[in-house]
Chains A and B, each alone.
Chain A
Amino acid sequence: MSIGWLKRLFAPDARIDIMTEQLGELRSEVATLGQRVSMAERDARETAIFEAARQRRVAALARAMRVIGKRLDTLASRVKDHDGRGNEAGEAIARLRASLLALTIRVEAEADDTRRIATALLERIAANNPPDQPG
């Protein structure tokens, strides 16, 4: 998606210009997040990264995503005020939302300690090698 065409489309309106610029920033932030998620996934697969450190990175990603999600919400509500000329921008925001949602699902899967802990515990119980401490 080109930001230039959005700028041309909304050139007469300075507020739309600002929103378009913000949209561009968000797009690049979502792209950066995508790279960070890929790195976290690769680390989880390929390297023996210290678990707590991995969890901290996943939590940081989740926080960044919440911030971006809120900024997208704000932007979407402002675009709505410019109905008509804001349609294109609205569609672009919807696409960014979809990207963000896809990333969020990947991050949540990484952060799901419950699944990891429960699965490990059930495997040990099935193998008749449970931990002494149920905690």
Chain B
Amino acid sequence: MSTIVIAPFSNSAIRDWPSAHFATLIDLLLDRWPERSGLIRVIGTPGQRPRVDSIVRTYPADRVTNDCGRMPWPEVVTELRTAACVVGNNSGIAHLAAFFDTPTVCIFGGSHQRLEWRPIGFNVTLLSRTIGCSPCHLDHGASCAYGLACLWEIEPGEVADAVMAAIVRGRTKQMVPREAHEGTIA
């Protein structure tokens, strides 16, 4: 059994995919990730625990766990190494998972240049939307005049598809074609 690890928060709100989308994503994954396959673990800091509670509270605790603040870093590292897939924003977790060649889906906001800052790895799928104001280089979500449109426009269904495809590639040890790093960007 392996797990899907989700890290919904980075250290800057401008890079965070909306919590409502994460909740919908978990909903979709529960349908497509059989119970026998393993848990969906949501990770983060102790301070992020209440926010993650609001994402996972409607899901069965035996399938989706809020592990914020429960896992020491070495355990996080082990989990990232062995996960079936890691879903994260433009954050250290996504970089770390990519570094371990774990199947990684990175939801990359428009605030930074994706070609410059994307996680690089054997099995990384980058999902991003380029809109007119991108890259804005803003640091705070509250400063965005367009309500983080670059992140809201990335649909949970699209991310769920990417997760399942990454898991299949991970099992069969297929590498994401180089052009797909850019090809999956709309």
Contact = CB atoms under 8 A, between A and B. Distances in A.
Interface stretch (B54-62, B110-118, B160-168): B110-118
A48 interface: no
Contacts of B15: 135
Contact of B92 (A55, A62, A63, A134): A134
Interface stretch (B17-25, B70-78, B145-153): B70-78
Nearest to A113: B117
A118 B45 contact: no
B76 to A, nearest CB: 6
A111 B113 CA distance: 12
A132 B76 CA distance: 13
Size category of the binding interface on chain B? 20 to 34
Contact of A125 (B7, B12, B74, B121): B74
Contacts of B91: 134-135
A111 B114 CA distance: 12
Given A122-B77, A134-B91, A55 B117 contact: yes
Contact of B116 (A111, A118, A121, A125): A111
Contacts of A122: 77, 96
Size category of the binding interface on chain A? 20 to 34
Interface string A120-135: 0110010000111111
A115 B96 CA distance: 8
Interface string A50-85: 000001101100110000000000000000000000
B120 A112 contact: yes
A115 B121 CA distance: 9
A114 interface: yes
Contacts of B45: 132-134
B33 interface: no
Nearest to A132: B45
Given A117-B92, A117-B95, A134 B115 contact: no
Contact of A130 (B73, B93, B120): B73
A103 B113 CA distance: 22
Residue among B74, B88, B92 having the largest count of chain A Cβ atoms under 10 Å: B92
B92 to A, nearest CB: 6
Contacts of B113: 59
B27 to A, nearest CB: 23
A118 B117 contact: no
Interface string B79-107: 00000000011011101101110000000
Nearest to A129: B73
10 A-B pairs with the lowest CB-CB distances in the bound complex, closest first: A118-B99, A135-B10, A135-B91, A130-B73, A114-B120, A133-B11, A59-B116, A117-B95, A135-B11, A125-B73
Interface of B: 7, 9-12, 15, 43-45, 73-74, 76-77, 88-89, 91-93, 95-96, 98-100, 113, 115-117, 119-121
6 contacts: A55-B116, A114-B120, A114-B121, A122-B77, A134-B73, A135-B88
